[in-house]
Amino acid sequence: MLRRWKQFIFTVLGIIFRHPVTGTTLIPILPDGRIVLVRRRDTGTWGLPGGLIDWGETISECAGRELKEETGLDLVAIQRLVGVYSAPDRDPRLHSLSILLAVTVRGQFAVGDAVEISHVQAFERDRLPLGNLSHDHDRQLQDYLKDLTTIA
C-alpha cells in the first residue's frame, strides 16, 4: 500500500513540475487611452501586470485579482484576447503559459503587492518604455499595438 502511495505522489509531482504553469498578463487601458505598466522589484524593469491563475479561479477572475493586487485598479471590461504566449524561455523563472488580455480599467493607483511591484505608472502610447520590458512584454505590447492576435 505504501508503495502505491509513493508512486501516486511521484506521478502527481511529475505532472505538476513537468508542465508549464498558466497565468494572465494584462494590458490595462485607462479611459484616456494611456497604458498602465508596473515596475518589478526583482529586475527593476517595467512590465505588464499579471500572474498565475489560482486553483478554482477563472481567467477573468485572475485578471481582476492580479490587476487589483499589482496596480490598485479595477477591471471594467475585457476588450479582447491579444494572444497566448508559451515559449519556454519567455519567463526566466519558470516555463509559463501567458494569456494576454487587453482590459479597460479605472480607479486609483495603489501597489498592493509591494514584494513584487515597486511602482505603477500610466504611459501614452508614444512614450511606452519599449525595448527593455520584463519577460516577453515588449513582444506582447508590440502585438497589441499592431492589433495582432498571436499564438506563440
User: Does residue 131 lie in a domain region?
Assistant: yes
Q: Which CATH number is 53's domain given?
A: 3.90.79.10
User: Does residue 90 lie in a domain region?
Assistant: yes
User: Does residue 25 lie in a domain region?
Assistant: yes
Question: 4-50: per-residue pLDDT in tens?
Answer: 887 888 777 777 777 888 999 999 999 999 999 999 998 999 999 99
User: Does residue 14 lie in a domain region?
Assistant: no
Rounded to two decimals, what is the model's pTM?
0.88
Neighbours of 57 (CB within 10 A): 14
Q: How far apart are CA 123 and CA 129, in angstroms?
A: 8
Residue range of the domain that includes 108: 20-151
User: Is a pLDDT exceeding 90 seen at residue 107?
Assistant: yes
Count of domains in the chain?
1
- Distance from chain centroid for Cα 102: 11
User: Does residue 6 lie in a domain region?
Assistant: no
Partners of 75 in the β-ladder: 105
User: Does residue 140 lie in a domain region?
Assistant: yes
Average pLDDT over every residue of 106-127: 95
Read off the pLDDT band of 91 (50, 70, 90).
confident
- pLDDT for position 141: 97
User: Does residue 9 lie in a domain region?
Assistant: no
34 or 112, higher pLDDT: 34
User: Does residue 102 lie in a domain region?
Assistant: yes
Counted residue by residue, the chain has a size of 152
